[in-house]
């Protein structure tokens, strides 16, 4: 089930985040997004398996974070989360989604290409530990 986040989800979200990223977000960053209707979790049997956060950046929808716990990948959960986000921002009247992804994160590039995103450019040293690839998709 995909549903909006509640504050009680944050500890499990941080566990998933820690398992997914070399430089994970701390809990206060997730708490700062609690009022965002584009912050959603994928829950199965009371366990948070993944989450996504989509917001606004200069008039475009901006995918700020998406992650699925390593034990539950390649089951379509990331696709379901991203499609949920796309449906939401369409309702808000957005026509484009933009995101940044680590240059070294080639598995995620493939995920986004499969979801019809196109590469728009590179931002050097966007992350503490990597450059960013900027990707975009019309919706």
| Closest CB to ligand COA among residues 10, 82 | 82
What would the two tokens of residue 71 be? 């034990």
Residue 106 CB, shortest distance to ligand COA, in Å, is 7
CA 119, 22, 54 angle in degrees (round to 5)? 50
Q: Give yes or no for a contact between 123 and 131, defined as CB atoms under 8 angstroms apart.
A: yes
Q: Which of 106, 97, 99, 104 is nearest to 131 (CA)?
A: 104
Residue 125 CB, shortest distance to ligand COA, in Å, is 16
| Closest CB to ligand COA among residues 56, 73 | 73
Residue 18 CB, shortest distance to ligand COA, in Å, is 11
Using CB under 6 A as the criterion, which residues of the chain lie in contact with ligand COA when the complex forms?
20, 66-68, 73-79, 99, 101, 105, 107-108, 110-111, 114
Q: How far apart are CA 33 and CA 24, in angstroms?
A: 15
| Closest CB to ligand COA among residues 95, 110 | 110
């Amino acid at each position: 089930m995909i549903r909006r986040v509640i504050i009680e989800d944050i500890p499990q979200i941080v566990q998933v985040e820690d398992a997914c990223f070399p430089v994970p977000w701390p809990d206060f960053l997730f708490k700062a997004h609690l009022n965002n209707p584009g912050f959603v979790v994928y829950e199965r049997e009371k366990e948070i398996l993944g989450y996504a956060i989509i917001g606004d950046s200069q008039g475009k929808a901006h995918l700020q974070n998406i992650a699925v716990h390593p034990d539950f990948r390649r089951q379509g959960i990331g696709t379901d989360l991203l499609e949920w986000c796309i449906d939401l921002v369409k309702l808000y009247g957005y026509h484009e989604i933009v995101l940044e992804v680590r240059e070294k994160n080639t598995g995620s590039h493939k995920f986004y290409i499969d979801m019809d995103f196109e590469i728009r450019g590179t931002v050097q040293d966007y992350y503490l530990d990597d450059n960013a690839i900027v990707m975009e998709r019309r919706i």
